[in-house]
Chain A
Amino acid sequence: AQKITQTQPGMFVQEKEAVTLDCTYDTSDQSYGLFWYKQPSSGEMIFLIYQGSYDEQNATEGRYSLNFQKARKSANLVISASQLGDSAMYFCAMRELNNAGNMLTFGGGTRLMVKP
């Protein structure tokens, strides 16, 4: 079964508008972390934002915020005031903290295209 699901293969957004990228996850662990990464065409994965399962407040980092709904097992990324440079692939990932391997499990990604 998919542990991380990103249902939007591609999204368009107008420059300066906000956009929400969806992510749902599946785990039976109580302790886990959720991450969002951006991957431009150059290929490097750039860390954007982190949410811990016990964090009571939604994480924010500049123009990025995470809409964390634990009961629904969703961790959507909100990008405010989109810029042309935001055009990239976006990946949601989870680390189950009881996992000895410390690995990240990634979703299939969403391609965001910002229109001028």
Chain B
Amino acid sequence: DTGVSQNPRHKITKRGQNVTFRCDPISEHNRLYWYRQTLGQGPEFLTYFQNEAQLEKSRLLSDRFSAERPKGSFSTLEIQRTEQGDSAMYLCASSHRRAGRTDTQYFGPGTRLTVL
């Protein structure tokens, strides 16, 4: 059973550059989530997809952030014109809603972004 995978694992970029992260969920999981985690804090919700539809976005997701899940499988998170405050761990999770079962989110290893 393959877990959630994320690429790259680490990204160092200069302020003002654009970056894109990829998340591959657990096969057949129809729900996909992005979270951001800064040092010493718990993860904070960014956005949520059910299949290819983006159903919820946090106010943390500024106009510089965009997420897609074009075919309801993998997802990308793009940050345009990066700022030093964007430095964080970006976590992806997936889940599968089944009747009578807990909809548990399983997380990937994360992408650590450092903006210089």
Which A residues are within 8 Å of any B CB, using their own CB? Answer: 4, 33, 35, 37, 42-47, 50, 52, 91, 93, 95, 100-109
Contact = CB atoms under 8 A, between A and B. Distances in A.
A35 B104 contact: yes
Nearest to B102: A50
Contacts of A100: 55-56
Q: How large is the interface on B (under 10, 10 to 19, 20 to 34, 35 or more residues)?
A: 20 to 34
Interface of B is mostly: strand
B33 A103 contact: yes
A37 B45 CA distance: 15
Interface of B: 31, 33, 35, 40-45, 48, 55-56, 58, 89, 91, 93, 95, 102-110, 112
Contact of A101 (B56, B93, B103): B56
B9 to A, nearest CB: 9
A103 B48 contact: yes
30 contacts: A37-B107, A42-B109, A43-B110, A44-B107, A44-B108, A44-B109, A44-B110, A45-B43, A50-B102, A50-B104, A52-B102, A91-B43, A93-B42, A100-B56, A101-B48, A102-B31, A102-B33, A102-B48, A102-B95, A102-B103, A103-B56, A103-B58, A104-B33, A104-B43, A104-B105, A105-B45, A106-B42, A106-B43, A108-B40, A108-B42
B89 A43 contact: yes
Contacts of B48: 101-103
B55 to A, nearest CB: 7
A103 B103 CA distance: 11
Contacts of B95: 102
Contacts of B31: 102
